[in-house]
Amino acid sequence: MTIADRARQLRHDRNSFVHATVVRAQHPTSAQAGDEAILLPDGTIEGFVGGQCAQSSVRKAALGALQTGQSVLLRVLPDGDVHFPDAPGACVVVNPCLSGGALEIFLAPQIPSPLVRICGDTPIARALQQVCVVLGYEVRSDDSATGFDGATAAVIATHGGAEAEMIRAALDAGVGYIGLVASQVRGASVLESLSLNESDLSKVHTPVGLPIGAQTPAEIAVSIAAEMISGIRSGGLVVIAADGQPTVTTALDPICGMTVTVGPNTVHLRIGEQDHWFCCPGCRTTFASAQADA
């Protein structure tokens, strides 16, 4: 499977990852311009963007890019002066293990688009689906009170029916934004029947949408979408990846002092009951030899 095929698969499955591409390389390095890799949230690297030492720096920067959602131009330089074209705005890492060359790697985080669950087959529901498609959001439409897992937002536009059950199911699934299309009186009645705490109440919006004077189904759909955008961009509304975001841990290489990200591919040595992590096999060998001589 090529890197492009793997990236398409991850996007289809709504899994987050970082696409890393070597854009410049100065010998001696094992990587060449055009080399690519996929970096997963657990630190796994699929592909090749440099040897073990460079991988440690790339892994750490890639996980940081996933957290911020911002692309990074990473410059991995050896310890000491190097004649390498300047790249304003790049993130520079001095890698004491690098074998003398330098690398410039573009890290592009790929985070799933917001997933909006829409309940109902009403004019407002249909208009909202169209608006979400324009925004690049993924839409799932279903009138059942199940299947809210992974949704960034849920909008209930059934104009009656099992609205309370749907709200309860969305809250139980951890959905951060729940919009109920209803009048102020009916919306308050539905919420009262649920006896929600303050935290849950803050997630349910009814009447739904920003107050822009919307009247038509299309205008109401725009007001709902605007409220969701506000929540995503400035209100702390989280876009959930199918794979989640596992906690990332780091460790200090006891030989070179580099901070390495602990993942499935990180060079590791266990002595007694203690684990030690390294940027490359060379540091592990040096450490093991020192422990044997001690």
pTM: 0.67
Q: Give the Cβ contact number of residue 186 at 10 Å.
A: 16
Token pair in block for residue 33: 């311009």
Q: DSSP secondary structure string, 98-128?
A: S-S-EEEEEEEEE-PPPEEEEE--SHHHHHH
Tens digit of pLDDT at every position of the chain (294 positions)? 899 999 999 998 889 999 999 998 887 778 899 999 999 988 889 999 988 778 888 888 898 888 888 899 998 887 665 666 676 777 877 776 656 678 899 999 998 889 999 999 999 999 999 999 999 999 999 888 888 988 999 999 998 889 999 999 999 999 999 999 999 999 999 999 998 899 899 999 999 999 999 999 999 999 999 999 998 877 777 777 766 554 455 677 787 776 676 666 678 788 876 778 777 777 888 888 877 776
Token pair in block for residue 221: 């759909």
How buried is residue 136: exposed, middle or buried, by Cβ count under 10 Å (0-12/13-18/19+)? exposed
- Domain boundaries of the chain, sorted by first residue: 6-110, 115-234, 249-285
Among residues 93, 15, 100, 19, the alpha carbon closest in space to that of 260 is found at 93
In eight-state DSSP terms, residue 239 is P
Amino acid letter for position 110? Q
Q: Give the Cβ contact number of residue 270 at 10 Å.
A: 8
Cα–Cα distance, 63 to 260 (Å, whole number) = 12
Which is the CATH superfamily of the domain at 115-234?
NAD(P)-binding Rossmann-like Domain (3.40.50.720)
